[in-house]
Structure 1
Amino acid sequence: GQAHSYKFGSLCHSNDAIRDQAIRHNIDVIETGKALGSKSITVWLADGASFPGQHNLRGALQRTMDSLKIIYRHLPDDWKMFIEYKPYEPNFYSTVIQDWGTSYLLATACGEKAYTLVDLGHHLPNTNIEQIVATLMMQGKLGGFHFNDSKYGDDDLTVGAIKPYQLFLIFNELV
């Protein structure tokens, strides 16, 4: 196990030692990935707050950005970084990377090898995911997908099981 707990965040943590441990873990993942022939790393964080005042929202986002930039600097030249977002879970008041715009902001701040990863189950009900896809494509920041579906939250249902037409509209943007 690791020496420090991520109970109150990892890359966003206000404690330097905990944040450094999380950064080091991601760098270790890159090293393991290189040995396995991988060409990318996906960063999804459970970082957030369960109630107002638990952490400073701007501070948490800034520390996350700074941490991601350090990890990004360790990417091999032919690698990509995918930054995944999620509006809630495990925290229900806020998550540090709560939406595609925040992921895009962080990816842009990191550099040209960083992209937004779209998980179809990580959206609030009735979100126009195809518009998100179109915008990210237009900006050259669409990194990929986790294809699944949801009815109530991040249900991880079979893709197209609940909203097959939405899946068609997403693919329509891709072509």
Structure 2
Amino acid sequence: MNRRLAVGVIVAACLACGSCWGADRAIFGPWGLKFGQKAEESAAQMKENGASLVFDTFAYRIGVTSLYQGEFFGRSCFAQLFTNDRGLWRVQMSFKRPEIQAGSGQKGNYFELSKLLTDKYGSPKTITTSHGEARQWKDEDQMIELTADNRSESNYTTVLTYTDRRRYMW
């Protein structure tokens, strides 16, 4: 009987250590943001990278959502950072329509960013929807999604989202 109890305790401890180990592994997002860091740390890092805070909100259950304006891959964008009690868990960037690329519009952003991400992370999974197209790069810990949505006024809105799947709320 004591032997079974000891084995059960050892197995439970191993499982707990395994899941804790996974939660402590660092996943980095854009601008060198570390998923899991506190909202204050993210704010300091965004400021250091030249982004300006547009606004931030706090909701008891959801946590802090902050909106910044800055540049990523040399493109002007708005970045929304989502932080809950487990730290930063999502960064979502919406790219502004480049004035100099009026002919190609946002679709140029989509294809150029897709190439940069494919060079870094390998071949994506491509999903075609009725509103546009999305490409995903994901593993057990992180998901990166690039979408081109043709419902917007500019014909295409390019959105790039980094999500820490271990801290994801829903």
TM-score, normalisation: structure 2: 0.28
Q: Greater helix share, 1 or 2?
A: 1
Q: Greater strand share, 1 or 2?
A: 2
Larger-gyration structure (1/2): 2
TM-score, normalisation: structure 1: 0.27
